[in-house]
Structure 1
Amino acid sequence: MRAEIFGADICPDCVALKDWLARHPGNWTWAEITADTATLKRFLALRDTDPAFAPVRQGHTIGIPCYLFADGTVLLDGEQARAKLQG
């Protein structure tokens, strides 16, 4: 399933994910939140409103990597997201 993946090259989890993605090509795009203000704003709008981010907001963390699927599903759990990407 198509997905947009929000992350940052300065995040160790995102770096590891990008390595995995390079070995598992698929129907996804990488959205680097530190690349430009527009991408950061799109991510922050999602993070500030989507229920999947409630623990992130409570914990005052960033919430990346974040997987936004074409069906509107937002996943922060890497294992679940990778299974959905491959399925």
Structure 2
Amino acid sequence: MDLAHYVQRRMQVLNLSLKDAAARSGLSRQTWHKLLRAEIQEAKVSTLIKVAATLRVSVPDLLEVYFQSNAAHRCSCIDFSVSGLYSNES
């Protein structure tokens, strides 16, 4: 499950509106909107801690979802080539 769906599901379980989540967390409605639309590719740990508290989930659980949902994106951005690391000279 990606972070956006996880956040959305938890908000539904807690009957939280975007406005309520923003007020409880101290984060802007824009930040919550970006979370729900999967428009945040890199989040501050402090933001994720506030999100976890607002959603009444443990920080490790939220971090696990965050890192799993971003793993594919991060891997696709990493250059794993090894050209230029080895030379034929001995």
TM range (shorter): under 0.3
Which of 1 and 2 has greater Rg?
A: 2
Instruction: Return the structure number with greater helix share.
Output: 2
Q: Which has the higher contact order (CA 8 A, sep 6+)?
A: 1
Instruction: Return the structure number with greater strand share.
Output: 1
Q: TM-score, normalising length from structure 2?
A: 0.24
